[in-house]
Amino acid sequence: MTVVDLAALGESFTRDPYPVYARLRAQGPVHRIRMPEGMDAWLVVGYEAGRAALTDPRLSKNWDNAAPAFRHGAISAGPHMLRADPPDHTRLRKLVAREFTARRVEQLAPRVQKTTDELVDAMLAAPGGRVDLVEALSFPLPISVICDLLGVPDLDRRSFRTWSNDALGATDPAQREAAATAMVGYLTELIEDKRRHLGDDLMSALIHGSDEDGDSLSPRELLGMAWLLLVAGHETTVNLISNGVLALLTHPEQLAALRADPGLMGNAVEEMLRFDSPVETPTYRFTTEPMTIGGTTVPGGGELVLVALADANRDPDRFPQSDRFDITRDARGHIAFGHGIHYCLGAPLARLEARIAIGTLLDRCGGLDLDIHPAAITWRTGMLIRGPHSLPVRVTP
């Protein structure tokens, strides 16, 4: 089978991968690719094939099932839900799921609103109203909320942001590994400090607590869970807000429609998730046996399989006129947060933060414009996270 070298496409693929995915989808649901990260993998495109792959038990999230060629690529501080299959996954998810129920998340709304108001105040006070939306709102809001939830207010956010960007998006393996090593050291100290100062927060509960069966996290699992909650707890929302605002600013008729009817905000957020998904492909899956997808056999033995969430959400067989951004569309059924047992635990929180952040931005900023040509925006590399490095905007009351 011919290997499609996505790495050779360079910046054009990073900036706009959708036409490439669409061409592959027209040829079939699975393709052998070379990732921008340099590894070869099997890429699943299309909505139906993507959903099916996300729930296929023959695809394992456990890196012990990865072929030797991929073992060095594991970037994490320890075991966590996105690197586990049942029953381990079931156990780990149960220990934190109660903190992310819709009811519990809604109780965070006043905190999210207060933080958003403070950030928008600072944006409007900036000289000439010129700010980078990523630095001014998209990053500080979700990192502030997840840190508050975990009880780690003293997080070195600038360093953590750099490490997170590199660990998840750098195409250089050495750069990814260095970032992960730095983050592990930092989180280890963070957890030890929290042990000495337990409080009424999620991290303290994970350190000190257990479920009704007496189960609790091992030290390595605690480190992995801290990694997952801090990284996943902000990354999706950072790029949901940035990608969503960019979609509005490059589709002024949709921005005008949302300003005219703020009641569309919930639906608009779902369309933002569908149109430019913050997670382009989810974390890795490995074959545990040969499997046939659309007439193509993917070998067993730990082959790497990626599901193009971004393409599934642009499949015209599921979403008519799929390349059109339309905040009145019924976007339900998108898989921006995944599908099946690994569906994003933090989805309700990401949605809440996006609704409040973008709603407040539009409510308080009568003027909101891009301060850069769309073609000049630089995008994060790699196939995991999709979002701009920065998004210069101009705001006025």
DSSP string, 92-130: HHHHHHGGG-HHHHHTTHHHHHHHHHHHHHHHHHSGGGE
**Cα distance between residue 256 and residue 131, in whole Å:** 22
Q: By the 8 A CB rule, do 25 and 44 touch?
A: no
pLDDT at 73: 57
pLDDT digits (tens, 9 = 90+) for 361-396: 999 999 999 999 999 999 998 899 999 999 999 999
pLDDT at 212: 47
What Rg do the C-alpha atoms of the chain give, in angstroms? 21
pLDDT at 187: 85
**Cα distance between residue 104 and residue 232, in whole Å:** 18
- For the chain, the first-to-last Cα distance in angstroms comes to 56
pLDDT digits (tens, 9 = 90+) for 136-162: 999 999 999 988 888 887 778 788 888
- pLDDT category, 254, cuts 50, 70, 90? very high
- Phi then psi for 33, rounded to 5 degrees? -130, 160
Provide the 8-state DSSP code for 179: H
pLDDT at 74: 57
**Cα distance between residue 133 and residue 317, in whole Å:** 34
Residue 310 is encoded by which pair of tokens? 């971004």
pLDDT digits (tens, 9 = 90+) for 63-96: 999 999 886 655 666 778 889 999 999 988 988 8
- Residue 295 DSSP SS3: coil
pLDDT at 139: 94
User: By percentage, how much of the chain surpasses pLDDT 70?
Assistant: 96
**Cα distance between residue 353 and residue 274, in whole Å:** 17
Smallest CA-to-CA distance from 271 within 357, 330, 346 is with 330
Residue 43 is encoded by which pair of tokens? 């890429």
Residue 209: Cβ within 10 Å count:
13
User: By percentage, how much of the chain surpasses pLDDT 90?
Assistant: 66
177-190 core/surface letters (b: 16 or more CB in 10 A; e: else) = bebbebbbebbbeb
Smallest CA-to-CA distance from 369 within 272, 255, 273 is with 255
pLDDT digits (tens, 9 = 90+) for 30-43: 999 999 888 899 99
Q: By the 8 A CB rule, do 223 and 77 touch?
A: yes
Provide the 8-state DSSP code for 340: G
- pLDDT category, 232, cuts 50, 70, 90? confident
Q: Which long-range contacts (CB under 8 A, 24 or more apart) does 183-192 make?
A: 183/77, 183/227, 184/77, 184/223, 184/227, 186/156, 186/159, 186/160, 187/77, 187/223, 187/226, 187/227, 187/230, 188/223, 190/152, 190/155, 190/226, 191/222, 191/223, 191/226
pLDDT at 186: 86
**Cα distance between residue 207 and residue 198, in whole Å:** 8
Q: By the 8 A CB rule, do 319 and 331 touch?
A: yes
Helices (H), the chain: 10-15, 18-27, 47-54, 68-71, 88-97, 102-106, 109-125, 133, 140-150, 157-169, 173-196, 202-208, 219-249, 252-260, 265-275, 309-312, 347-364
Q: By the 8 A CB rule, do 50 and 25 touch?
A: no
The answer regarding whether domain 4-396 maps to CATH 1.10.630.10 reads yes
**Of how many residues is the chain composed?**
397
**Predicted confidence (pLDDT) at residue 48 exceeds the cutoff of 80:** yes
Residue 344 CB-half CA count within 13 A: 25
- pLDDT category, 15, cuts 50, 70, 90? very high
- Residue 395 DSSP SS3: strand
Higher per-residue pLDDT: 259 or 159: 259
pLDDT at 213: 57
**Cα distance between residue 291 and residue 327, in whole Å:** 38
- Phi then psi for 325, rounded to 5 degrees? -85, 115
- Pairing status of strand 30-34 against strand 4-5: parallel
The kind and range of the H/E element at 396 are: strand 392-396
Torsion, CA 378, CA 379, CA 380, CA 385, rounded to 10: 160
**Predicted confidence (pLDDT) at residue 98 exceeds the cutoff of 80:** no
pTM recorded for the entire structure: 0.92
pLDDT digits (tens, 9 = 90+) for 292-308: 999 999 999 999 999 99
**Predicted confidence (pLDDT) at residue 214 exceeds the cutoff of 80:** no
Average pLDDT, the chain: 91
